[in-house]
Structure 1
């Protein structure tokens, strides 16, 4: 039987805590992890350290499952919050294994908890208009943001597809004697599609491409192409390396941009995300009598059943049909007189 020397446990605990600090610094410096995420991860890993009595390196898959499952549930964590916890734990132990602090990764098979999927909150045209009018067109950043917002709203792009665009994805062509623009993009599953661009979005994109500030940015890629939408600053990258692919705007930055403009416009926060714009695009297509196949093509849906959802929520079109054909409108009812008065007064 072997015994640990006095003070060994204290030293090990201090070493393990230091490893947490090293991991979080690495996340911040190398993965550009936000301060908010680092704070969340730190809290979770400190709670894990308490649960493990400070012995991070002695964790097993079983103890990690118990912590991210029952323990966090009893502490009031929802399934969605426990997903963040699993991500923190998996990332931490992957980091330890890569740096050979542990021989095997106990979190390798740690699974994420299942949680219900929330339906997207629909955004109305009024809210979309309010967001679109927020960027300052007297600045280069404002013109860039306006062009991106117009493409998200006017073409229904996913934010990942928007950020991945290069200049070679822009296809100019003639339509009824006028110059028009289409964009060839790849999104989910590397599926490629060509989407015509509304004239409003085309003009904003031309203003962005012609801006003198863009001309001074090195966007050149190794294959000779150029990044389309650029970030304007990144304090984590040395100035001499700040070029090419490193100038590409991230999806996280676009999420933050939309949230910023939505709050400034007074739009509810649960609508302040790129998918709300895409959702509105699909809904308006359905309201305009686009077929399911046309919606599928424009939105890049793999399954036509997904596109059919938008035809089911085209409420304005269905309301007009209902008002014309509704049997209650063709007979006398207990509220018919009241209804006529309300209609005369503009209440309905």
Structure 2
């Protein structure tokens, strides 16, 4: 079991290029599950085949008994699912015991944005056995990196991309154009998808200048992108109410929480009025207090 866990974590780090934080979270979640299974099975040396659907249900009950929140339990179950999908894909086991395993229903979180850890968990969800993993990974990365609206994302064409410069031209509300920024992970994800995109067009014998295509070789719709994002939100064990707009919200909130100027965020989001941008300023009390202590002369 220890070797299988080590192989999976190495896969996340080297092949999936997951962040150190993500690998650390998976290590902690799976190590805890491993220890729980040892306790239930009464053995420190058990075969992976001993992890049955019944054992996994007992593990879910164990998380509840320990008093873990629904979101924490859902995240840890999602880690177990990813681990067993990896084992099945590599032929270590023939049957995935997590099929049919239910996560606890996560309570609504307001406002609808993700923590750093939840973003890491979401971005790593597309896997090689998905229909278009590179496309889906690029969609998630562009949402978080550029803060675009879903309508803006599906409207992207090849001429809008300037990957060498890390920018993309976006057409927002009122047909206003702006530049959005692409981080290195989103550029890498786009490059991988564009290779597959060309192959897809060759197979379907279609012509299109759209960046993101469906299986027929035509431009993705807003509804399709919503389903794609929802699929990975569910797989990661996150709040089912999270949407593509939640990733835009997350983009803005993380920038502001890290100290970005609200005017800069306004420009990146393409907001006409500053008041619109201010709805994204969900700073914690601690952040507000820290800013006050640093800025106020009589603090």
Q: TM-score, normalised by structure 1?
A: 0.49
Match of 2:219 in 1: 248
- CA deviations on 1:6-31 (whole Å, 9 max, x unpaired) are xxxxxxxxxxxxxxxxxxxxxxxxxx
Say if 2:237 is the partner of 1:266.
Answer: yes
- Consecutive unaligned residues of structure 2, counting only runs of 5 or more, are 1-108
Structure 2 CA distance for aligned equivalents of residues 154 and 215 of structure 1: 26
What's the offset of the Cα at 1:164? 0.7
User: Which one of the candidate residues 220, 227, 247 is aligned to 2:207?
Assistant: 220
Tell me, what secondary structure is at the counterpart of 2:166?
A: strand
Aligned to 1:294: 264
Match of 1:313 among 282, 289, 295: 282
Q: How does 1:131-170 map to 2 (within 5 A)?
A: 131-137=122-128, 141-170=132-161
Structure 1 residue 219 displacement after superposition: 5.1
Which residue pairs with 1:188 in the alignment? 173
Change (3 A) 1:317 1:218: farther
Quickly say closer, same or farther: Cα 1:319–1:140, change in 2 above 3 A: farther
Residue aligned with 2:132, SS: helix
Q: Residue deviations 1:55-111, cap 9 Å, x none?
A: xxxxxxxxxxxxxxxxxxxxxxxxxxxxxxxxxxxxxxxxxxxxxxxxxxxxxxxxx
Which of 186, 202, 212 is residue 229 of structure 1 equivalent to? 212
Picking from 197, 201, 205, the partner of 2:186 is 201
Match of 2:70 in 1: none
Q: Deviations over 1:193-248 (max 9, x none)?
A: 01121111000000111236335255535xxxx1110001xxxxxxxxx55xxx00
Gaps of 5+ in 1: 1-117, 173-178, 233-241, 331-348
Q: Report deviation, 1:314.
A: 2.5
Contact 1:184 1:195 in 2 (8 A): yes
Cα separation, 2, equivalents of 1:137 and 1:320 = 43
Q: Tell me the residue number matched to 1:281.
A: 251
- Alpha-carbon distance change, 307 to 218 in structure 1, aligned in 2, over 3 angstroms: farther
Larger mean CA deviation between 152-161 and 126-135 belongs to 126-135
In structure 2, the residue matched to 1:107 is none
Cα distance in 2 between the residues matched to 1:187 and 1:218: 31
How far did residue 181 of structure 1 move?
A: 2.1
Change (3 A) 1:325 1:159: closer
**Superposition deviation, residue 259 in structure 1:** 1.1
- TM-score normalised by structure 2 residue count: 0.56
Alignment of 1:14-25 (within 5 A): none
Measured against aligned partners, the alpha-carbon deviations of 1:257-310 in whole angstroms (never above 9, x if no partner) come to: 11111111110112x211111111000110122112101110111111112333
